[in-house]
Every structure is written in C-alpha cells, then in structure tokens.
Structure 1
C-alpha cells in the first residue's frame, strides 16, 4: 500500500507502548498534567504571520557533488545542517547559510554496497558533536566537516546510548532489561551509571505483535536535560529527565477518531493491529513530533486516513490550527511554510527539529517553484537570497530549508 510505504515505519521490538490508560503507573508524576481536548475536524484558519514572528528560506547549494533528491532526516547543530539522503545512502553537510561543506558517501566507505548507510546519529565525544554511523559491521565517526575521526567494529564500538538528551550528558537506551524486568526507557549519566528507568513491560505482551509508529519518539522539550516522549498507541505526552518522568499533556480525541481503550490489552487485536487500522482509517493511532514554544504546542497525529495530521494547539486560548491550513502572507513572501496539502514531505516528517526557539522543516525545489508560480499575482518582494535562488536554480535543484520562529503568545 502506497500510504503505508510513505507515511509510517513498522517497528517490532524497538520501544513499546502499553495500555494508553496506564498513565498513572508507578514512577510517573501526573501532578502537573494538562488536559487537552481537540477535534481534528474543528480547526481555525490563520495566516502564517499570526503564528510565526520570523520565516527564513535557506536554499541548499546545488553542485555536482552535493546534488541529492530528498531529505530523509535533518539534524541541526549550532552551525550545520546534517542531512541523510536515503536514495544515495549518503550524509550531506551544509553550513547554516546552505553552503555545501562535505559528503559522506556510503558506497565509498562500505564493503557491503547493499547496506552502505542506513542511518546516523549525533554523539558527544570530548566536548564536541560528531556524526556516528553504521555501515555493515563497521562503525564510523566523522566530525561536522565530514572528516573521518574513527573506524571500528560494531561489536567493540556499539554507541553508548540510543539517544542523548540535548544540553545534557544524559543518555537513554530503549527496551533495556534490568534485573529481569524490561523497561521502555533507561537513563544513564556520562559515565554509564544508571540514573532512572521508566515504563516497565512484560516481553510476552508484545511478542508476535505488530507495533506501528510514525517515527522517532523522543523530542527535545526545550528544557535543558529533558525530552518529550510519546508511546505506541497512546495520546499522552511525557517529559523525561534523569530525576523523573512527568505526564505533561493528556490529549483527548473524539470517540470516532480514538483507538479502543483495550487496544493493547485485548488479545483479539494481537497480531492484527495493522489490519484493524487499515480498515478504520478515521482513527488516529499515535502522536509524534512534539514541540512546545511558549503557549503553542506543535504535534502530529498518526493515521492511515486522509485527515489532517499536523496541528498547533494554543494552551492559553485552546485554539487548534491545522498546519496545512496556514495561509501564506507577506511574512513568508506568500510562499507556504510547508508543502502539506500539495506534496508528501511534510506529511511524512512534520517539523524536523526545534532548536533554540526555531522550528525547522523543508521542501523540494519542485514545490518551491510551483508555489512561486501560484503566488505570482500577489507580486511578492523576495529578499536577495530568494531572488537569486529563483533566478539561478530550477525545479531539479536541492531542497530548501525553512526556519520558523513561533510567537510566544
């Protein structure tokens, strides 16, 4: 099914959600939770300038070496964009102005051409950010200029953590067995000492089952040393830190859009969750890409249907906005800030990062030139960067990074 291939990833035994009503289990602080009731079919329309103070478009330099098709994953550091291109199995590095820096070509570093590079992660070593990637049986580490720092065998060089919370030395491992009990998350300090563990589960509960999610589950919450965490088949948003886990937001959807309350515990759904969701496309089956900026909560809902997926909820006035409905205006040079509604990139990924008060997303040059043509009657006054881009580039050029600063109100 096309939607299945493009919109979700199927993970078995990666990190596992339990019953969605089990928010009050031991070790989870619920004292500060905020209840958020939303109806995805009842959203308001706003201009992009009503939501964002700043919108910046950064075309990525297109050269023979830097040319690529689509951003599969975007990571943002202080002075770099790091991009994984699945089509060429390569990692490309650009500076924050979009200038090409370097390319890590999976085909050149791997002995196994069919498994050149599957993913990468950012790691902290000796107080600097490095790119860690696995290719075949080898683990490589590169600096942010694409220079090889270390090469080793994965057996001896397994990354210490699955996720490192930004602005901290706290590392997280998924599905770690500790003292005969499995935990969805276990937290460690920089020396590898366990700090805490959350969400115990019985391994028998998820064996021979299919767990479906829309991507990663940990997102920087904006508070140093803490991260938002979302679980399979669960509408709750947790905040995780070395000292405790809190239930931050409890999302409630209309019954017609909600999973059965016993979806995880009823054995009749075991091994048949995918089948059930494909037959019930009005249902949302999870939440991801969670970011908070001031009073605005950004999040995506997972669905196999054609309904709206990405939302902005104002915690102050309870207004719900669908990102796909944001109307371009002079602040964005009458260009959409995402390709939602016209292409699939934003619907698949959502906002990629939230770093130092800015959200990051992207869309293709094909989309950019189409949006330019559609808005020609508005007679937009492009800045120097966009003027040069539209004059010298084409629909086949590299994608554009879109940087947005949300309003705090």
Structure 2
C-alpha cells in the first residue's frame, strides 16, 4: 500500500477501518485540557468504558449477598476466573484447560519455575535474551541461586552482535546447540520489551526440545499484541500480565499457560494452594493436596473478583473482535507510523532518531522503539509536554505503541505533525 503523510489520507483510512468504532469503547486521557495522543498500550492499556459497569455489578452483589456472593452472585465468585478462560485461551492459541488467570506475572513465573526448572548437576543452564525486562532477569538470577548455582555459570545470555540492536535467530539456535547437554531451560520474552523484537517461539521451542530442554516464555508484550499458537507450537509453559495490551488496569491479575501434556500430570512438582486443589473437594478442608488437572492446578488463592471484573470488560472486546482482525490493523497502523516517522525525521539530517525495531511485520508487534542519538531524555520530556504519551527506557529509547483497538491513523498523522514541530524548534 502507498502511504501519504496527510490528514486526508489518515482520515480516509479511519473511515475504512472496520475496528474504528472500538476506539469509542475506551477513555482517552485529557491532560491540561487536551486529549493526548496515547501510544503507551505496551505499558498500560486504556480503560474500557464498560469497566465501571462490570465492577459495579460485583459491588452490588457484594452488598446484596455478602459472603453468599461466592455462590449466589450473578457471576458466582467461586468460579469467576472461569469466565475469563475462553477469551484468554483464544488470545494465546491454547485449549481452555491450558489457561487460567491468577496472581501476577512474576509471581506466576516463579511458581511455574518450581515445576519446569528442575536443574541437575548436569543440566542446569538457562538460555535467555540479553536485555530482558529486569523482573525476568531477577527471576532467573534468584532461581538459579535458590538451586545452588551461580548466575554467571547458569545463565547464558544471547545478545545482539556488535554494532547491531537485534538478536539474530541463528545465534540463539547456535547457543542452544552449544549448551545442549547442559541445558535445562530456554526462556525468552516472546516480544522483547526494549526493541519490540518478536521471537519465533515455535522455532525456539523445537530447538529446546531437540536437546532435551524445556521452553517457556514471558508474554507480557506479546499477549493481545501478536497472534500466538502456544498449544500447537508445543510450548511447555508461559505467563503474561493483563494490564498492557489487554487493558486490565494497573497491576491487575496475570495469567498462565501450561501445555496439556504437563497439565494432565498431577504428579508434576508444584507449590500447592487450596484453589488449585480438586474443586469437587475444595471445601472439605482436607490435609492432602490433590491438584486439579490443567493449568488450574497451579492456582493458589481464590480469585480477586473486582480486578477480574475489570479485565473481563476488556476480554469481552477481544473475544468479539478476534486476534486476526486486530493483527491486520496492527500491521497496517504500525507500518503507517513507521512511514510518517521516517518522512519527518529524514528532513532533519543533523538529528539522529533511529528505529531499532525490526522492519519486517512478522518480526514485530505494534511497537516501534526509537533510539535517541545525540539527543538526551529532555527530548522525550518535550514530546510528553506536547501531548504525546509514549514511554522512555534507559538509556536512550522512546517506545511508541500504536494499539489497534483504540489508536487511529489520524493519531499517527498528528504524532508526525507534533514530532516535526519539535524537531524544528530543537534545531
């Protein structure tokens, strides 16, 4: 498609966008009396307008029923998490038995590592990407230490080659082969938070399995962003948060995936809690833990219903739209942002702003990471003051996420106009 950096073109694309009406289902922040251009769905998604209605319904049932709401609320709380399962399974390409919403992201990963990182003196190494999200790196460091290993011996980080920003797939595969006999786990972020690089999770999973290792993923920046097919890819386990692309509200409940071949194995080591216990006998208050089959067997505590109600208001939208339509718009909208950005920046040869996210649509989601070269963080602060809400990651990257559910082509065009004005005054 031939793009044009004009308001007429952007508005024409919006008029043809079959998802355009969904923009009105979200609140758009107004700061200093002006609606901002919000490109931070990769950090915190916008609030669905229906969220208040969904939460109020549970508050009303709490007022009406008290503790009996667990069984008599319109959506009984004892099984509330099950309402979120169909949409969650659709989003990550899983069977419903393989998915459950619970806890929070890093908590869930630690719980999954209990089951899937079982190192021996021979097999103890973990291969991951360099420049992981810090919480994941802390997870790996403390997990290997917990098992008596040194991080410098156990954690193998695959980094971009010198002078490059992205990790080459062949370098990951080579590392898996090189350390195969000692490898316990391959663990990557499905989409790297810093560069926006989308990894080939099926290929990494296959490579891990070929050397006898487990494959797991942090999908914080992938779930709700890119199509996933975890079951068919044979991924062993995964976890994700719900407050980024899934618009679940700040710090809300996370979710996990456990492949059915593991979920059916109730002998698999795990930490127990009463919500993961056989639900037919849960309230008999027995002493022996009998895990449920499927991902639900990793639950610990009963559902945080109010937070889940907020998440439900967004997942209902995802279920109505489907990932195929979201991905189609995402590819087009991200490409338009890339086009507008490059058109603006090429006029300013003395200022170097470089997109470090892969150019190929199949290697990225709806995020573009822009490296500041010769410009400090004050440029990002000026962008914020001008009404563009993006985010900054040290030492020098601005991340922009044109989210297909609520961002428009006109948003992208107006971003280009704002960027152009700032660069003119910056000179």
Q: Does TM-score exceed 0.5, indicating one fold?
A: no
TM-score in terms of structure 2 length: 0.24
For the pair shown, which has the larger CA radius of gyration, 1 or 2? 2
Structure having greater relative contact order (Cα 8 Å, sep ≥ 6): 2
TM-score in terms of structure 1 length: 0.25
**Larger strand share, 1 or 2:** 1
